[in-house]
Amino acid sequence: MKVAVVGVGAVGSATALSLVERGGTCREIVLVDHNTARADGVASDLRYAAPLSPTVEVRSGGYEDLADAAVIVITAGVNEKAGGATDRSDTKGRLRLLETNAKVFAEIVPQAVAVAPQAVVMVVTDPPDPLADLTRHLAGHNRVFSTGTVIDSLRFRVQLADRLKVRPRDVQAMVVGEHGTSEVLLWSSATVGGIPVTDLLGQHGRPVEDIRREVESDIRYANITIIEGTGASQYGIGAVSARLVEAVLRDERAVLPVAAYSSRHKVTLSLSSVLGAGGVQQMHEPIMAPEEQQALAKSAKALRAAAERAIAIGTT
């Protein structure tokens, strides 16, 4: 199967590398970028690594080369550093990138969909959730989802595991809502081996509320912390993107907090989503404490406003 990555900056390159390294996920990867020299260079570089993995062909191309792609991964647009979204005190967070990247998507999506009308489209570019709503509007179908809060949920698990001295894979914890400042960490259902995380944290001699504030800050601003050190947050989201492509191509029906359009909330946001062939097949709202439900409603409201703005910008 063919996978296309549109936008070969830091995240697009990391996604392509992760696809190669996963091995067997797809047989062909096409890289498309407005900077054709960059796409050519990244494709050439990855081709020399490809023999270390099961058979996969990596090449650069144009939109015409998206024909028959099963999945189109869109990573094009300005990132937080270039877009001036690295201020921890800015409540807009990634939404500050919306206007610029909505215009980018208005150019990309119609061209991609015209060539590959049956492809599933995965949005990675920030802010991914309102851009996914714009993509649905431009594509004219619902085979669209964003990476949502998968990376946030992984960060939640890692932060808790560090404090509890356990493996992250043994921590069950989820973030829902926006991939952004209004995201909701589901503390009420976070567990390790069936034991509530808050009970375990309470045994560490510090007020649980203090630890919660630290964890939430570390997660909400993880991208900014990474960008301050490296200039771009790319490897974690690149690995996530490749894993999600794999779930679609293998029709895994994997339950992950990716974001898709919710008829209940009337916007694209992250819930417990079943991901397989065609994209998100089902969405379920996890059990939440009353304050978490209220926070999710607030997040959905913010996302609806952002989605309306994205569609207005991307269709004018």
Phi and psi at residue 24, in whole multiples of 5°?
Answer: 85, -5
Check if the beta carbon of residue 83 is closer than 8 Å to that of residue 14: no
What is the pLDDT, as a whole number, of residue 195? Answer: 96
Please count the other Cβ atoms lying within 10 Å of the Cβ belonging to residue 55: 10
Integer Cα distance of 140 and 253 in angstroms: 24
What positions carry a catalytic annotation? 179
The full set of domains in the chain, from first to last, is 2-148 (3.40.50.720)
Q: Can you read off the two tokens belonging to residue 178?
A: 């926006």
Map residue 36 onto helix, strand or coil: helix
pLDDT given at position 247: 97
User: Which residue has 């998206």 as its token pair?
Assistant: 66
For 254, the 3-state DSSP assignment is: strand
pLDDT digits (tens, 9 = 90+) for 89-128: 778 888 999 999 999 999 999 999 999 999 999 999 999 9
d(Cα 91, Cα 281) in Å, to the nearest integer? 32
State how far Cα 201 lies from the chain centre. 29
pLDDT of the residue at 275 = 98
Q: What is the pTM of this model?
A: 0.95
Give 98-156 as a DSSP string.
HHHHHHHHHHHHHHHHHH-TT-EEEE-SSSHHHHHHHHHHHHTSS-EEE-TTHHHHHHH
Residues in the chain, pLDDT under 50: none
Q: Over the range 218-235, which residues count as b (16 or more CB within 10 Å of their CB) and which as e?
A: ebbbbbbebbeeeebbbb
Give the C-alpha separation, 174 to 53, whole Å.
Answer: 32
* Closest C-alpha to 6, from 89, 84, 55, 62: 62
Q: Which residues, at least 6 apart from 267, have a Cβ–Cβ distance to it below 8 Å?
A: 129, 133, 261, 300, 303, 304, 307
Answer yes or no: are the C-beta atoms of 260 and 40 closer than 8 Å: no
Helix segments in the chain, DSSP class H = 10-22, 36-47, 98-115, 128-139, 150-164, 197-201, 208-220, 222-230, 235-249, 290-314
Q: How far apart are CA 160 and CA 127, in angstroms?
A: 25
**Residue whose structure tokens are 């005190």:** 89
Closest to 219 measured CA to CA, from 262, 167, 176, 259 = 176
Cβ neighbours, 10 Å, residue 90:
14
- The pLDDT, as a whole number, for residue 295 is 98
